Amino acid sequence: MLGLKIEKRAAPLPWVELGISGLSIVIALLAGSVLIWTQGFSPLHIYSTLFSGGFGSFSAIAKTLTKTIPLLLIGVGLALAFKAKAWNIGAPGQMIIGAIAGTGVALFLPFDLPAPAHIALMFIAGFAAGAGLAAICAFLNTKIGLDMVVSTLLLNYVVLKLLKYLIYGPWQAPGWGFPYTKELSASLQLPTLAGTRIHYPTLIIGIVAVLLIYVLMRRTKLGYEIRVFGENPKAAEYAGINSFKIIILVMIISGGLAGLAGIGEVAGIHHLLKEGIDGSGLAYVSSYGYTAIIVAWLGRRSALGSALAAFFIAGILVGGYGVQLIEGVPFAMVSAILGLILISLIGGAILARYKFTFRRGR
Amino acid sequence: MRKPRMEETVVEMKGILKRFPGVLANDHIDFDVKAGEIHALLGENGAGKTTLMNILYGLYKQDEGEICIRGKKVTIKSPKDAIDLGIGMVHQLFKQVPRHTVAANIALASSPDFFFPGSKAKEKILRISEEFGLKVDPDAEVWQLSAAERQKVELLKVLCRGAEILILDEPTSTLTPQGKKGLFSQLKEMKKKGYAIIFITHKLDEVLEISDRCTVLRKGKKVKTTPTSKATKRFLARWMVGREVLFKVKKKTVKKGKIVLEVKKLRVLGDRGETAVKKVSFSIREGEILGIAGIGGSGQGELIEALTGLRKIEEGRLILSGKDMTKASPREFVDAGVAYVPEKRVEVGLVPTMSVKENLILKDYRVPPFSKRVFLNLSAINRSAKEKISRYNVITPSPDTPAGILSGGNIQRLILARETSGEPKLLIVAYPTYGLDVGSVESVRELLLKQRERKSAILLISEDLDEIMTMSDRIAVMYEGKIMGIVNAGEVTREEIGLMMTGTPWREIPNARA
Amino acid sequence: MNLATKVFSNILRKKTLALIIGLAAVVLFVSYLELSGVKTGSFLNRAMVFATPLLFGTLGEIYAERSGILNLGIEGMMSTGAAAGILGAFALRSAWAGAAVGMISGALLAFLFAIAVVHLRGMQVPAGLGLFMFGLGLSGVIGVTHAGEKLPYIFTKTPIPVLSDIPVLGEFLFQHVPLVYLALILVPIMWFVLFKTRLGLNIRTVGENPAAADSAGVNVFRTRYLCIILGGALAGLGGAFFSVAWMHYWLEGMTAGWGWVVIALTIFALWNPLGGLLGSLLFGGVHAFQFELQGLGFPIHILGMLPYLVTLITLITLLLFRRRLGAPSALLTSYTRE
């Protein structure tokens, strides 16, 4: 008989960590292929269409990069929050509230500003709104012990209703009665790289955010505090680290980045406020705010890892959209596969802590 | 289950071998127990006693060797199998649910009834507690009980299940001398009734006092099994440690300096909102060790947390070097030069997943040379880590190794390196040698005494009375949150401390020299 | 008087106070309804229907959390339950079969989650989020063939004789489809099992101190699997209630975050099935009430926030009054013998 022997690993090896990410993707794709097959499609064909649609050509890469922007911004913020075990599941709401606040500044500023300053103000408003919403949850958590998962999630639905109220109500553009606001004036729309929809100012903000968070985590006192707090809150308290400060800060950063992603989508792509600016136009669950949770975990909660994961997942989203158009496979399939990736990542984490060896015996 | 005859061998373990990563915890151990005997299993921490018994109780599975119960070869896969075979284990850390009642805790282990297990178990509990003289209120919730009462609950649990083979893992570690006496008389009673009792300990006096036979383990190997009547303390000690034990600390006289810490009528709440520390007052001077004795849960834990800012002070004042720190935060205590070696080293004192060098700066990452404005100074951190590792003899593969994989002694030296290298004004140490091997115990005690010579004020909390009595200059004894008396270490006997630990104030003890 | 009775009488006093406040609120509310021309009975009837899927989900999650496992994937299991339920009902031509299929689908998803967090000791929060996304995605894939299609096989309303004739109360509780009665009956049963039987004692001990349970011979893994799968089955049933028993059709995202409300209600219920009933009714009541207010000209989307906001505010209030809610001590920890 073959016996399984499980031993504790002395220290997690970096290549094992990387291997788990790869393995999780493989497992999820395999399980997904069963699902695709039961729906009467050929998994191999679907996957090749999906990956060539996401990464196979210059225009595919351009589309993928466009979708990378919000995933990057939100994902790297969540990586930071999750590192401190602050479970911010409210990125969809923080993204929308950022879009609302930014659009509000764009459309209803009572005085005139030169365009660059006006755009800057839009982004500042977006950041502040997202950060503020997240900070409320952080405050309730640290002061009265309200579970952050619950508060951030319930607020997602509240904010979604607020968006609907605005675009069906007071902010609706006059005319045909579509649930849109009127368009941003041309000077406030972000420039894009020639021939693509890559609104590069937001991309640059995203890359800067990744680099800043990388430095923050590795080289600063605050990063050290965040890591200590996330790994062992009791030791953090013992060391005199202020948990209130840590939670509030990581929530402000992650919420603010989600808010930036929101106004970025409005100013860079849609040029008006409507439902689905958070990426949920394709399937109910495909809001960038949820998808970015997977980005953060696939990137092993590190800044650079999240950046890579954001690009990869954006490719799957783009490819999945193509597959729905060409082959008629529902886009929800992509959500299912992404969910499976996350479950496999969490289940597979044990490989980093334990060594499994098979041996004959008994 | 058939009642075994007296003297019949009920447990026989042959050639037991168990490997853990990097250690051979049990190396071909033979062990047997007869009905109606108390068999002591003696050895240092890490000798493999608990591992061997966890195998017998089904918590671990041996890699090699076999077990026979009442002459029949058995495979024990889980505690359930062990319980079915009539084996019961009283663990060192009680496995109880504080929020449930005594009856519910016992019913979990023994109730044959699907409906109303708690209330139906009560009758049985009362009958068995009568039979063995183990009085506990079955309706009390466990968190309200004292350590001695919780020990009784643990014994009742095992007896209610109908166990005839009892394993007791260091049962006296949380008891007062008086509580220990009670336990021993109950064990003798059980022995007379034909129970087989395995008594795990590292205390020689207990072996000689209670056991019929004893088996000595050292580093995973069996050294000897002998009838206790033929053993002497000296031989047992040599078998256990492998050399003569010298437990003499060289304590120099140190001239006491100014008062460092002064505590006045402190009142502190426990986790459940009860008053855990009641009007406690004392002071410590430079170069002085104040030992705090008391059975576990007498308020020492809450007191220390209050002295380090981790717990709120409800009433009273705390003055550190003349400065009022009653309302200070943990950070202000750290900055004021209060170092703290916590009881739960890995859970509180360490970030196990982070590296040794990162753990070494846990308290001073925010001050130069380890940081400059918002940034960490990595080269200074590396340099200081190397220096501390060699100075404090922390054995680690590298400064980048996760601290959690070091051995207990090395973890304690790492924490002491961090806490004492900054020349603290006040050093608070809780249970500093608990669970360490002999070599580490000596090095830790020497370190503390060196710190005393450097004129630190030291507050020492320990359950080891010998440690308290040899290390301290003065001893305070706590009972139910109150201080029963503060005495000079040379002017008090073990028995007097035992009396104070169970609630007799110093001034009421006859012949007290106060 | 010993400590235990003192504590008990203290609780009793607090509970009486809460009861008086609660009763006063109910009286005020009912008189408001009657004055504004709404029939209280039919209003409560609707509230009970809205409360039912939440009640199923909350009862299941209470068991999972009592065994020490936080399963955040309720929303995913509910969605899949709704889609699988409609699929099953169409395929097997029966509403009952649909409910059963929904239940099984929820249980299967929960099993997947259980492997990840019990055997593989994965972190419960992210694993639950993964389950949430997987469940929602899966529902979109399998449900798409029948999206929006009216289900011809439905439960019939079966008023309970005699009891249904009681004014107000009869309409509130005893004029429903059978699944509502099932949810109501489960409340006392699940309360009794949890607090008065050996199985319940095992579950609670596993959730408080798994090492103690293991040492006493309780199989910790099996108990946790049981509770997680039971929780999944009930969440799936709650989802199937949406599509099969209530709306009679399926739409993507129809559970609209109610699975997350379940997580909140489990806290509100203080991990007690009786509290679960109270919380579900509160949410169902607020949900029903917003439809009444729509008639008065309030904007619908603002009213749509109400159920979520009320849940949040209720939790905040609860936490302001009680610092310690008494969550199971071992919640969020995985167990191993090392």
Mapping DSSP onto H, E and C, the string for B62-75 reads: CCEEEEEECCEEEC
Q: Inter-chain contact B104–C201, Cβ cutoff 8 Å?
A: yes
With beta carbons under 8 A apart, name residues in chain B contacting A223. Answer: 376
At C3 the pLDDT is 54
CA-nearest residue to C299 within chain A is A165
At A81 the pLDDT is 97
Q: Inter-chain contact B335–A231, Cβ cutoff 8 Å?
A: no
Closest Cα to residue C201, out of B331, B274, B119?
Answer: B119
CA-nearest residue to C208 within chain B is B97
With beta carbons under 8 A apart, name residues in chain A contacting B335. Answer: 240
Q: Inter-chain contact B350–A235, Cβ cutoff 8 Å?
A: yes
**Residue C41 contacts residue C168 (beta carbons within 8 Å):** yes
pLDDT bracket for residue A158 (50, 70, 90): very high
Q: Inter-chain contact A283–C137, Cβ cutoff 8 Å?
A: yes
Which value does ipTM take for this structure?
0.92
Q: Where does chain B hold its CATH 3.40.50.300 domain(s)?
A: 9-241, 275-508
Question: Which contacts of A38-41 are long-range, i.e. CB under 8 A and separated by 24 or more positions?
Answer: A39/A329, A39/A333, A39/C141, A39/C142, A41/A327, A41/A329
Sequence-ordered list of residues with C-beta below 8 angstroms from that of C91, at least 6 positions apart, any chain: C97, C101
Cα B192 to chain centroid distance, Å, stands at 30
**Residue A63 contacts residue A57 (beta carbons within 8 Å):** no
Residue A8 contacts C where some CB pair is shorter than 8 Å: yes
CA-nearest residue to C202 within chain B is B108
Closest CA–CA distance from residue B463 to any residue of chain C (Å): 24
Q: Inter-chain contact B100–C199, Cβ cutoff 8 Å?
A: no
Task: Say whether domain C45-325 belongs to CATH 1.10.3470.
Answer: yes
The predicted-structure confidence for A12-64, as pLDDT tens digits, reads as follows 666 787 888 899 999 999 999 999 999 889 999 999 999 999 999 999 999 99
What is the spatial distance between Cα B95 and Cα B80, in angstroms, rounded to a whole number?
A: 15
At C5 the pLDDT is 59
- Which amino acid type is present at position A11? A
What is the spatial distance between Cα A189 and Cα A271, in angstroms, rounded to a whole number?
A: 6
At B46 the pLDDT is 72
With beta carbons under 8 A apart, name residues in chain C contacting A280. Answer: none
At A77 the pLDDT is 97
At A115 the pLDDT is 93
With beta carbons under 8 A apart, name residues in chain B contacting C197. Answer: 114-117
Token pair belonging to B198: 């395995």
Mean of per-residue pLDDT scores for chain A? 91
Question: What global pTM score does this model have?
Answer: 0.90
Closest CA–CA distance from residue B113 to any residue of chain C (Å): 7
**Residue C285 contacts residue C47 (beta carbons within 8 Å):** yes
Residue C296 contacts B where some CB pair is shorter than 8 Å: no
With beta carbons under 8 A apart, name residues in chain C contacting B114. Answer: 197-199
Q: Inter-chain contact B108–C209, Cβ cutoff 8 Å?
A: no
Residue A283 contacts C where some CB pair is shorter than 8 Å: yes
**Residue A253 contacts residue A147 (beta carbons within 8 Å):** no
The CA distances from residue B4 to B9, B18, B74, B76, C26, in Å, are 9, 29, 17, 20, 67
Q: Inter-chain contact C215–B59, Cβ cutoff 8 Å?
A: yes
Task: Using CB atoms, pick whichever of C134, C302, C312 lies closest to residue A339.
Answer: C134
With beta carbons under 8 A apart, name residues in chain A contacting C323. Answer: 145
At B406 the pLDDT is 83
Taking the domain B9-241, which CATH number applies? 3.40.50.300
At A235 the pLDDT is 94
Which CATH number applies to B275-508: 3.40.50.300, 3.90.79.10, 3.20.20.80, 3.20.20.140? 3.40.50.300
pLDDT tens for the 338 residues of chain C, in order: 455 555 556 555 666 777 788 788 877 777 777 777 778 888 899 999 999 999 999 999 999 999 999 999 999 999 999 999 999 999 999 999 999 999 999 999 999 999 999 999 999 999 999 999 999 999 999 998 898 899 999 898 999 998 888 888 888 999 999 999 999 999 999 999 999 999 999 999 999 999 999 999 999 999 999 999 999 999 999 999 999 999 999 998 888 889 999 999 999 999 999 999 999 999 999 999 888 888 788 888 999 999 899 999 999 988 888 767 788 999 988 888 76
Angle at C81 between CA C80 and CA C83, to 5 degrees: 65
Partners of B340 in the β-ladder: B428
Q: Inter-chain contact C323–A145, Cβ cutoff 8 Å?
A: yes
Low-confidence residues of chain B, pLDDT below 50?
1-2, 514
The predicted-structure confidence for A237-288, as pLDDT tens digits, reads as follows 999 999 999 999 999 999 999 999 999 999 999 999 999 888 886 555 678 9
Residue B113 contacts C where some CB pair is shorter than 8 Å: yes
Q: Give me the sign of the Cα torsion angle A43, A45, A48, A54.
A: negative
At B439 the pLDDT is 73
**Residue B100 contacts residue B141 (beta carbons within 8 Å):** yes
At A182 the pLDDT is 92
**Residue A333 contacts residue A321 (beta carbons within 8 Å):** no
Question: What fold does the segment set A2-360 form as a domain?
Answer: ABC transporter involved in vitamin B12 uptake, BtuC (1.10.3470)
The predicted-structure confidence for B116-154, as pLDDT tens digits, reads as follows 888 888 888 888 888 887 888 899 998 888 777 888 898
A237: left (phi over 0), alpha (psi -120 to 50) or beta: alpha
- CB contacts < 8 A, A to B, total 77
Q: Inter-chain contact B330–A8, Cβ cutoff 8 Å?
A: no
Cα C337 to chain centroid distance, Å, stands at 33
At A361 the pLDDT is 42
- Domain ranges within chain C, ordered by starting residue: 45-325
Please list the alpha-helical segments (H only) found in B193-289: 204-210, 233-241
Touching A (3+ Cβ pairs <8 A), the chains are B, C
Radius of gyration of chain B (CA): 24
Mean of per-residue pLDDT scores for chain B? 88
Q: Inter-chain contact A11–B405, Cβ cutoff 8 Å?
A: yes
Residue B376 contacts A where some CB pair is shorter than 8 Å: yes
At B34 the pLDDT is 94
B244 phi and psi angles, rounded to 5 deg:
-65, 140
pLDDT at residue A86 tops 60: yes
The predicted-structure confidence for C121-136, as pLDDT tens digits, reads as follows 999 999 999 999 999 9
What is the spatial distance between Cα C242 and Cα C248, in angstroms, rounded to a whole number?
A: 8
Closest CA–CA distance from residue A348 to any residue of chain B (Å): 18
B487 phi and psi angles, rounded to 5 deg:
-130, 160
Q: Inter-chain contact B78–C218, Cβ cutoff 8 Å?
A: no
